Amino acid sequence: TELASFARGLPKAELHLHLEGTLEPEMMFTLAQRNGLPLPYSDVAEVKAAYDFTDLTSFLAVYYPAMSVLQTADDFHDLAWAYLLRAKEQGVVHAELFFDPQAHTGRGVPFATVVGGYRRAIVRAQAELGISAELILCFLRDLSAEHAMSTLLEALPYRHWIVGVGLDSDERDNPPTKFAAVFERARAEGFLVTMHCDIDQPGSIDHIRQALEFGVDRIDHGTNIVEDPELVATVLERGIGLTCCPVSNSFVTEQMKSDEIVSLLRSGVRVTINSDDPAYFGGYVADNYVALAEQAGLSASDLAELARNSFHASWLTPARRSAYL
Ligand code: ADE
Ligand code: ZN
């Protein structure tokens, strides 16, 4: 459609994208074969049939085992490069990319292998595609705070390659306060901070409040904030961006949450649209713009506003940001 080509053509930043969530079934088979690893699936169709998630937990149960095909620095490079090629087609000019080092170091893959492979793809994307990209290290919140802290210390030699830190994985009973010391240390080391406050998770509003009390620079998802006018006032006042992911929402909660997203947008909150785990949820970033527009009846100028928000909420330097505005 006309709106779809407009959405693709809009220069945009992607701010909520898990690199491990870009592992397409075809690549899963390629890497499994290259590394001589067995897969619990016999073909691509069988993998796609397993992508029948009803909530965050059922998604994560498929997501973590799948990434065990990632073994070498070349594998991490190839994964990120494939994403960046697709991102180019989706109009992405800047990307801030989550990665989950503990999901790899926990199965014996060195931190240096993960970050080195990803970094090589990022340098290549700048040179060959004209896309700038940064890495955000996410701590797995269902593991201990001590494990997160040791991962942060492992990352320090690579801090020039990592713009910030985040918090993801299973939110239930894993509030931001659990990681207070880790995030304090990360901030003291110069990392920017964002945290997932996933859609409709138990304790969602409390988690958003804790994240804001800590002083996060951004919130991932965070859509439940509509329930609390005081918290909405806080993000408005501080100019905090929310990285919403409509297609992902429809898997995790069976709704895109378009009314909530649009209501926040109309209130002036820095709402951005992103793809989260596109290989699993079936929509890259421009597809998310279109899905939301179709569901909520948004216009081309609404989509342009969302794209502008993506630069405002990005962690680009003011000089580089203003080049896109
Ligand atoms: N890890 C990858 N995608 C995630 C999501 N949407 N929420 C929490 N953890 C994740
Ligand atoms: Zn996410």
Does the annotation flag 277 for ligand binding? Answer: yes
Q: Strand 241-244: give its sheet, edge to edge.
A: 12-18, 92-99, 132-140, 162-168, 192-197, 218-221, 241-244, 270-273
Ligand 1 atom closest to Cα of residue 252? 6
Start-to-end Cα distance in the chain: 26
Taken as a whole, the chain contains a residue count of: 325
Enumerate the H helices of 130-228 as residue ranges. Answer: 145-155, 180-188, 204-214
Taking the C-alpha atoms of residue 261 and residue 309, their distance in angstroms, rounded to an integer, is 13
Does the annotation flag 287 for ligand binding? Answer: no
Whole-complex ipTM: 0.97
Each domain of the chain, given as residue ranges in start order, spans 2-322
pLDDT of residue 70: 98
Q: Identify the bridge partners of residue 95 per DSSP, sorted by sequence position.
A: 14, 133
Å from CA of 75 to ligand 2 middle: 21
> Which ligand has the minimum distance to the alpha carbon of residue 243?
2
Ligand 1 atom closest to Cα of residue 20? 2
Å from CA of 168 to ligand 1 middle: 5
Ligand 1 atom closest to Cα of residue 245? 6
Domain 2-322 CATH class label:
alpha beta
Å from CA of 73 to ligand 1 middle: 23
189 DSSP assignment: T
Å from CA of 102 to ligand 1 middle: 14
Burial of 45: CB neighbours in 10 Å, binned 0-12, 13-18, 19+: exposed
Best of 51, 79, 196 for a ligand 1 pocket test (most atoms within 8 Å of beta carbon):
196
Ligand 1 atom closest to Cα of residue 100? 1
pLDDT of residue 213: 98
Q: What is the pLDDT along the chain (325 residues), one digit of tens a residue?
A: 899 999 999 999 999 999 999 999 999 999 999 999 999 999 999 999 988 888 999 999 999 999 999 999 999 999 999 999 999 999 999 999 999 999 999 999 999 999 999 999 999 999 999 999 999 999 999 999 999 999 999 999 999 999 999 999 999 999 999 999 999 999 999 999 999 999 999 999 999 999 999 999 999 999 999 999 999 999 999 999 999 999 999 998 989 999 999 999 999 999 999 999 999 999 999 999 999 999 999 999 999 999 999 999 999 999 999 999 9
Does the annotation flag 147 for ligand binding? Answer: no
For 6-35, b where at least 16 C-beta lie within 10 A, e where not — what string?
bbbebebbbbbbbbbbbbbbebbbebbeee
Best of 276, 280, 288 for a ligand 1 pocket test (most atoms within 8 Å of beta carbon):
276
